[in-house]
Protein backbone atom coordinates (compact mmCIF):
# COMPACT_ATOMS: atom_id res chain seq x y z
CA UNK A 1 0.00 0.00 0.00
CA UNK A 2 1.24 3.45 -0.88
CA UNK A 3 1.60 5.76 2.08
CA UNK A 4 -1.04 8.52 1.88
CA UNK A 5 0.10 12.13 1.97
CA UNK A 6 -1.81 12.95 5.17
CA UNK A 7 0.10 10.15 6.93
CA UNK A 8 3.58 11.02 5.69
CA UNK A 9 3.09 14.74 6.39
CA UNK A 10 3.21 14.35 10.19
CA UNK A 11 6.72 14.92 11.68
CA UNK A 12 8.32 11.65 12.78
CA UNK A 13 11.73 10.46 13.94
CA UNK A 14 12.60 6.98 12.68
CA UNK A 15 13.85 5.22 15.82
CA UNK A 16 11.97 1.92 15.72
CA UNK A 17 12.72 -1.29 13.87
CA UNK A 18 9.82 -0.93 11.47
CA UNK A 19 7.96 -2.55 9.89
CA UNK A 20 7.75 -5.20 12.59
CA UNK A 21 7.42 -8.90 11.67
CA UNK A 22 3.99 -10.32 10.92
CA UNK A 23 3.92 -14.04 11.60
CA UNK A 24 1.43 -16.94 11.57
CA UNK A 25 1.12 -19.06 14.72
CA UNK A 26 0.23 -22.33 13.06
CA UNK A 27 0.99 -24.79 15.86
CA UNK A 28 -1.07 -22.82 18.35
CA UNK A 29 -3.86 -22.28 15.82
CA UNK A 30 -4.16 -26.02 15.26
CA UNK A 31 -4.15 -26.68 18.99
CA UNK A 32 -6.96 -24.19 19.61
CA UNK A 33 -9.00 -25.25 16.59
CA UNK A 34 -10.10 -21.77 15.60
CA UNK A 35 -9.03 -19.30 12.91
CA UNK A 36 -5.40 -18.93 11.92
CA UNK A 37 -3.74 -16.64 14.45
CA UNK A 38 -1.32 -14.03 13.21
CA UNK A 39 0.89 -11.98 15.51
CA UNK A 40 2.11 -8.47 14.79
CA UNK A 41 5.48 -8.46 16.54
CA UNK A 42 5.57 -5.02 18.13
CA UNK A 43 7.79 -6.58 20.77
CA UNK A 44 10.45 -6.26 18.05
CA UNK A 45 10.48 -2.47 17.72
CA UNK A 46 13.91 -2.11 19.34
CA UNK A 47 14.74 0.07 22.37
CA UNK A 48 15.79 -2.59 24.90
CA UNK A 49 13.33 -5.45 24.20
CA UNK A 50 10.92 -3.27 22.21
CA UNK A 51 7.22 -2.68 22.69
CA UNK A 52 4.33 -0.64 21.37
CA UNK A 53 5.43 2.66 22.94
CA UNK A 54 8.28 3.00 20.44
CA UNK A 55 5.82 3.81 17.66
CA UNK A 56 4.35 6.59 19.80
CA UNK A 57 7.75 7.96 20.74
CA UNK A 58 8.66 8.46 17.08
CA UNK A 59 6.02 11.21 16.96
CA UNK A 60 6.29 12.50 20.52
CA UNK A 61 10.04 13.04 20.36
CA UNK A 62 9.75 14.62 16.92
CA UNK A 63 7.31 17.06 18.49
CA UNK A 64 9.71 17.63 21.41
CA UNK A 65 12.51 18.53 18.99
CA UNK A 66 10.30 20.86 16.99
CA UNK A 67 9.35 22.67 20.21
CA UNK A 68 12.98 23.08 21.27
CA UNK A 69 12.80 20.79 24.29
CA UNK A 70 15.97 20.05 26.22
CA UNK A 71 14.67 17.36 28.61
CA UNK A 72 12.02 14.65 28.57
CA UNK A 73 9.74 13.93 31.53
CA UNK A 74 7.33 11.00 31.58
CA UNK A 75 5.34 8.86 33.96
CA UNK A 76 4.26 5.31 34.67
CA UNK A 77 4.05 2.56 37.24
CA UNK A 78 7.32 1.31 38.72
CA UNK A 79 7.66 -1.41 36.06
CA UNK A 80 6.52 0.81 33.20
CA UNK A 81 7.40 -0.48 29.73
CA UNK A 82 6.70 3.00 28.41
CA UNK A 83 9.24 4.54 30.80
CA UNK A 84 11.90 2.05 29.73
CA UNK A 85 11.35 2.75 26.03
CA UNK A 86 11.29 6.49 26.65
CA UNK A 87 14.58 6.30 28.59
CA UNK A 88 16.23 4.44 25.73
CA UNK A 89 14.77 6.66 22.97
CA UNK A 90 15.80 9.79 24.85
CA UNK A 91 19.32 8.42 25.29
CA UNK A 92 19.56 7.65 21.59
CA UNK A 93 18.51 11.18 20.68
CA UNK A 94 20.56 12.95 23.35
CA UNK A 95 17.73 14.10 25.64
CA UNK A 96 18.19 13.90 29.42
CA UNK A 97 15.27 11.76 30.64
CA UNK A 98 13.39 12.04 33.93
CA UNK A 99 11.00 9.28 35.03
CA UNK A 100 8.37 9.70 37.74
CA UNK A 101 7.28 6.18 38.63
CA UNK A 102 4.40 5.53 41.00
CA UNK A 103 3.99 2.68 43.47
CA UNK A 104 0.54 1.66 42.27
CA UNK A 105 1.00 -2.11 41.96
CA UNK A 106 0.79 -4.30 45.07
CA UNK A 107 2.87 -7.14 43.65
CA UNK A 108 5.35 -8.50 46.20
CA UNK A 109 8.79 -9.30 44.83
CA UNK A 110 12.08 -8.33 46.48
CA UNK A 111 13.47 -6.99 43.18
CA UNK A 112 10.30 -5.24 41.94
CA UNK A 113 11.75 -1.74 42.32
CA UNK A 114 15.30 -2.58 41.24
CA UNK A 115 15.18 -5.16 38.43
CA UNK A 116 13.27 -5.56 35.16
CA UNK A 117 12.36 -2.26 33.53
CA UNK A 118 13.76 -0.19 36.40
CA UNK A 119 17.20 -1.70 35.93
CA UNK A 120 17.10 -0.80 32.23
CA UNK A 121 15.90 2.74 33.04
CA UNK A 122 18.96 3.29 35.18
CA UNK A 123 21.34 1.66 32.70
CA UNK A 124 20.01 4.14 30.10
CA UNK A 125 20.98 7.02 32.40
CA UNK A 126 17.48 8.20 33.24
CA UNK A 127 16.79 10.04 36.48
CA UNK A 128 14.37 7.71 38.27
CA UNK A 129 12.04 8.94 41.02
CA UNK A 130 9.80 6.33 42.67
CA UNK A 131 6.93 7.96 44.58
CA UNK A 132 3.51 7.10 46.03
CA UNK A 133 0.66 7.77 43.56
CA UNK A 134 -0.59 10.79 45.50
CA UNK A 135 2.87 12.40 45.34
CA UNK A 136 3.28 12.28 41.56
CA UNK A 137 1.76 15.70 40.84
CA UNK A 138 3.95 17.41 43.44
CA UNK A 139 7.06 15.61 42.17
CA UNK A 140 6.26 16.67 38.60
CA UNK A 141 5.75 20.30 39.60
CA UNK A 142 9.00 20.38 41.59
CA UNK A 143 10.97 18.75 38.77
CA UNK A 144 9.52 21.06 36.10
CA UNK A 145 10.29 24.11 38.23
CA UNK A 146 13.85 22.95 38.91
CA UNK A 147 14.59 22.37 35.22
CA UNK A 148 13.00 25.66 34.18
CA UNK A 149 15.03 27.57 36.77
CA UNK A 150 18.15 25.99 35.26
CA UNK A 151 17.20 27.41 31.87
CA UNK A 152 16.01 24.04 30.57
CA UNK A 153 12.86 23.41 28.51
CA UNK A 154 11.20 20.17 29.65
CA UNK A 155 8.75 18.29 27.44
CA UNK A 156 6.13 16.24 29.29
CA UNK A 157 4.97 12.95 27.78
CA UNK A 158 1.81 11.49 29.35
CA UNK A 159 1.70 7.99 30.80
CA UNK A 160 1.90 5.45 28.01
CA UNK A 161 2.68 8.19 25.50
CA UNK A 162 -1.07 8.27 25.01
CA UNK A 163 -2.26 11.54 23.59
CA UNK A 164 -3.18 12.33 19.99
CA UNK A 165 0.48 12.96 19.07
CA UNK A 166 1.62 9.59 20.39
CA UNK A 167 -1.45 7.73 19.14
CA UNK A 168 -0.51 8.70 15.59
CA UNK A 169 2.14 5.98 15.85
CA UNK A 170 -0.71 3.46 15.76
CA UNK A 171 -2.47 5.27 12.95
CA UNK A 172 0.67 4.48 10.99
CA UNK A 173 0.67 0.94 12.41
CA UNK A 174 -2.83 0.42 11.01
CA UNK A 175 -1.52 1.33 7.56
CA UNK A 176 1.47 -0.99 8.06
CA UNK A 177 -0.74 -3.89 9.16
CA UNK A 178 -3.06 -3.47 6.19
CA UNK A 179 0.01 -3.64 3.98
CA UNK A 180 1.13 -6.86 5.69
CA UNK A 181 -2.24 -8.44 5.01
CA UNK A 182 -2.43 -7.18 1.44
CA UNK A 183 0.94 -8.75 0.59
CA UNK A 184 -0.24 -12.11 1.96
CA UNK A 185 -3.72 -11.97 0.47
CA UNK A 186 -5.44 -11.84 3.89
CA UNK A 187 -8.71 -10.13 4.69
CA UNK A 188 -8.14 -8.24 7.94
CA UNK A 189 -11.32 -8.13 10.00
CA UNK A 190 -10.36 -8.44 13.67
CA UNK A 191 -7.44 -7.24 15.79
CA UNK A 192 -6.92 -7.97 19.51
CA UNK A 193 -4.45 -6.25 21.84
CA UNK A 194 -3.87 -5.20 25.45
CA UNK A 195 -5.40 -1.78 26.10
CA UNK A 196 -4.46 0.48 28.99
CA UNK A 197 -3.65 4.15 28.38
CA UNK A 198 -5.81 4.30 25.22
CA UNK A 199 -3.22 5.45 22.66
CA UNK A 200 -2.73 2.16 20.83
CA UNK A 201 -6.42 1.39 20.46
CA UNK A 202 -7.46 4.91 19.52
CA UNK A 203 -4.73 5.10 16.87
CA UNK A 204 -5.73 1.78 15.35
CA UNK A 205 -9.45 2.60 15.30
CA UNK A 206 -8.86 6.00 13.74
CA UNK A 207 -6.25 4.66 11.31
CA UNK A 208 -8.36 1.83 9.92
CA UNK A 209 -11.37 4.12 9.53
CA UNK A 210 -9.35 6.94 7.94
CA UNK A 211 -7.91 4.42 5.49
CA UNK A 212 -11.40 3.25 4.58
CA UNK A 213 -11.25 -0.22 6.09
CA UNK A 214 -13.72 -1.83 8.47
CA UNK A 215 -11.68 -3.65 11.11
CA UNK A 216 -12.90 -4.50 14.60
CA UNK A 217 -10.30 -3.60 17.23
CA UNK A 218 -10.88 -5.39 20.54
CA UNK A 219 -9.00 -3.82 23.41
CA UNK A 220 -8.35 -6.09 26.38
CA UNK A 221 -8.61 -3.81 29.41
CA UNK A 222 -5.70 -4.48 31.75
CA UNK A 223 -5.77 -1.31 33.83
CA UNK A 224 -9.07 0.45 34.49
CA UNK A 225 -11.47 -0.50 37.28
CA UNK A 226 -14.27 0.65 35.00
CA UNK A 227 -13.93 -0.14 31.29
CA UNK A 228 -16.09 2.89 30.52
CA UNK A 229 -13.16 5.05 31.63
CA UNK A 230 -10.98 3.46 28.94
CA UNK A 231 -13.70 3.85 26.33
CA UNK A 232 -14.04 7.55 27.17
CA UNK A 233 -10.28 8.09 26.84
CA UNK A 234 -10.20 6.29 23.51
CA UNK A 235 -13.06 8.41 22.22
CA UNK A 236 -11.38 11.64 23.31
CA UNK A 237 -8.11 10.81 21.54
CA UNK A 238 -9.96 9.76 18.38
CA UNK A 239 -11.81 13.10 18.40
CA UNK A 240 -8.52 15.00 18.54
CA UNK A 241 -7.04 12.85 15.78
CA UNK A 242 -10.07 13.60 13.62
CA UNK A 243 -9.73 17.35 14.24
CA UNK A 244 -6.07 17.26 13.22
CA UNK A 245 -5.98 14.72 10.42
CA UNK A 246 -9.45 14.40 8.91
CA UNK A 247 -12.94 13.39 9.97
CA UNK A 248 -14.11 9.78 10.21
CA UNK A 249 -17.51 8.19 10.83
CA UNK A 250 -18.44 7.85 14.52
CA UNK A 251 -16.29 4.96 15.70
CA UNK A 252 -17.39 1.79 17.45
CA UNK A 253 -15.18 1.12 20.47
CA UNK A 254 -14.84 -2.48 21.64
CA UNK A 255 -13.35 -3.10 25.10
CA UNK A 256 -13.51 -6.33 27.10
CA UNK A 257 -12.98 -6.35 30.86
CA UNK A 258 -13.06 -10.12 31.39
CA UNK A 259 -9.30 -10.69 31.58
CA UNK A 260 -7.94 -7.94 33.85
CA UNK A 261 -8.13 -9.96 37.07
CA UNK A 262 -8.11 -8.38 40.51
CA UNK A 263 -6.13 -5.29 39.60
CA UNK A 264 -3.60 -3.73 37.27
CA UNK A 265 -0.18 -5.34 37.49
CA UNK A 266 -1.39 -8.51 39.22
CA UNK A 267 -1.01 -11.75 37.22
CA UNK A 268 -4.00 -13.97 36.49
CA UNK A 269 -3.98 -17.75 36.26
CA UNK A 270 -5.32 -17.53 32.70
CA UNK A 271 -2.61 -15.04 31.76
CA UNK A 272 0.16 -17.23 33.18
CA UNK A 273 -1.25 -20.27 31.38
CA UNK A 274 -1.37 -18.27 28.13
CA UNK A 275 2.25 -17.19 28.55
CA UNK A 276 3.31 -20.83 28.95
CA UNK A 277 1.18 -21.91 26.00
CA UNK A 278 2.51 -19.28 23.57
CA UNK A 279 6.08 -20.04 24.68
CA UNK A 280 5.74 -23.82 24.34
CA UNK A 281 3.85 -23.84 21.06
CA UNK A 282 5.40 -20.84 19.30
CA UNK A 283 8.56 -19.79 21.14
CA UNK A 284 7.06 -16.39 21.98
CA UNK A 285 7.40 -14.59 25.31
CA UNK A 286 4.64 -12.46 26.76
CA UNK A 287 4.37 -10.64 30.11
CA UNK A 288 1.83 -11.06 32.95
CA UNK A 289 0.73 -7.39 33.02
CA UNK A 290 -0.21 -6.55 29.43
CA UNK A 291 0.46 -8.90 26.54
CA UNK A 292 -0.10 -12.09 28.55
CA UNK A 293 -3.63 -10.99 29.41
CA UNK A 294 -4.28 -10.20 25.74
CA UNK A 295 -2.97 -13.67 24.87
CA UNK A 296 -5.35 -15.18 27.42
CA UNK A 297 -8.20 -13.22 25.86
CA UNK A 298 -7.31 -14.53 22.41
CA UNK A 299 -7.37 -18.13 23.65
CA UNK A 300 -10.70 -17.68 25.42
CA UNK A 301 -12.36 -15.74 22.59
CA UNK A 302 -11.47 -18.56 20.20
CA UNK A 303 -12.84 -21.15 22.63
CA UNK A 304 -16.23 -19.40 22.89
CA UNK A 305 -16.54 -18.97 19.12
CA UNK A 306 -16.00 -15.21 18.97
CA UNK A 307 -14.24 -15.54 15.61
CA UNK A 308 -16.42 -18.26 14.06
CA UNK A 309 -16.62 -17.72 10.32
CA UNK A 310 -13.30 -15.89 10.22
CA UNK A 311 -10.23 -17.44 8.59
CA UNK A 312 -7.66 -15.18 10.24
CA UNK A 313 -7.35 -13.05 13.38
CA UNK A 314 -4.50 -10.79 14.47
CA UNK A 315 -2.98 -10.40 17.92
CA UNK A 316 -0.73 -7.39 18.42
CA UNK A 317 2.16 -8.28 20.71
CA UNK A 318 2.74 -5.02 22.58
CA UNK A 319 5.89 -6.25 24.36
CA UNK A 320 6.61 -6.25 28.07
CA UNK A 321 9.02 -9.16 28.46
CA UNK A 322 11.52 -6.94 30.29
CA UNK A 323 9.36 -7.18 33.43
CA UNK A 324 9.31 -10.99 33.55
CA UNK A 325 12.16 -11.20 36.08
CA UNK A 326 10.13 -9.40 38.76
CA UNK A 327 7.26 -11.85 38.28
CA UNK A 328 9.36 -14.99 38.68
CA UNK A 329 7.48 -15.91 41.86
CA UNK A 330 4.19 -15.94 39.92
CA UNK A 331 5.47 -18.82 37.83
CA UNK A 332 6.87 -20.80 40.74
CA UNK A 333 4.11 -20.31 43.32
Contact 323, 53 (CB under 8 A): no
Does 149 share its domain with 188?
Answer: no
Does 19 share its domain with 167?
Answer: yes
- Residue 239 annotated in active site: no
Which of 109, 142, 161 terminates a domain? The answer is 161
Does 200 share its domain with 319?
Answer: yes
Q: Looking at the 3D structure of the chain, how many domains does it have?
A: 2
**Residue 133 belongs to domain with CATH number:** 3.40.50.1100
Does 12 share its domain with 120?
Answer: no
The 10s digit of each residue's pLDDT in 139-167 is: 999 999 999 999 999 999 999 999 999 99
Does 260 share its domain with 192?
Answer: yes
Contact 217, 313 (CB under 8 A): no
H/E stretch holding 90 reads: helix 81-93
Within 8 A by CB and 6+ apart from 150, the residues are: none
pLDDT, residue 333, reads 67
Contact 51, 23 (CB under 8 A): no
The 10s digit of each residue's pLDDT in 30-39 is: 999 999 999 9
Does 257 share its domain with 321?
Answer: yes
The 10s digit of each residue's pLDDT in 241-261 is: 999 999 999 999 999 999 999
Does 291 share its domain with 189?
Answer: yes
The 10s digit of each residue's pLDDT in 68-109 is: 999 999 999 999 999 999 999 999 999 999 999 999 999 999
Which of 161, 188, 222 terminates a domain? The answer is 161
Does 46 share its domain with 190?
Answer: yes
- Does residue 199 have a pLDDT over 70? yes
Q: Cα(160)–Cα(166) distance, rounded to whole angstroms?
A: 9
**Percent of the chain surpassing pLDDT 90:** 98
Does 181 share its domain with 197?
Answer: yes
pTM score, two decimals?
0.97
- Residue numbers of the domain that contains 59: 54-161
Q: Cα(15)–Cα(152) distance, rounded to whole angstroms?
A: 24
Does 226 share its domain with 278?
Answer: yes
The phi, psi pair for 28, rounded to 5°, reads -65, -40
The burial of 293, by beta-carbon neighbours within 10 Å (0-12 exposed, 13-18 middle, 19 or more buried), is given as buried
The burial of 145, by beta-carbon neighbours within 10 Å (0-12 exposed, 13-18 middle, 19 or more buried), is given as exposed
Q: How confident is the model at residue 309 (pLDDT cuts 50, 70, 90)?
A: confident
Which of 102, 127, 161 terminates a domain? The answer is 161
Among residues 29, 80, 115, 291, which one is catalytic?
80
Does 113 share its domain with 193?
Answer: no
Diameter of the chain measured on Cα atoms: 61
Does 118 share its domain with 173?
Answer: no
Amino acid sequence: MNEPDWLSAVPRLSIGHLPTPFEPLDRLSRELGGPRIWVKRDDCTGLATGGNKTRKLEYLLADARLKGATDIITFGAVQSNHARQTAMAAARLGFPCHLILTEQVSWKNRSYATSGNVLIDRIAGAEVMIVPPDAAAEATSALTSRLTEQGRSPYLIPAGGSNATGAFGYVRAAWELLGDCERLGLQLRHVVHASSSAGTQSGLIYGFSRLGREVRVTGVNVYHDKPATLETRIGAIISTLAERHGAIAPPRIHVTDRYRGKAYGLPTDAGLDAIRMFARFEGLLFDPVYSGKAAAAMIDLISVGEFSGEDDVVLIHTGGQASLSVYDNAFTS
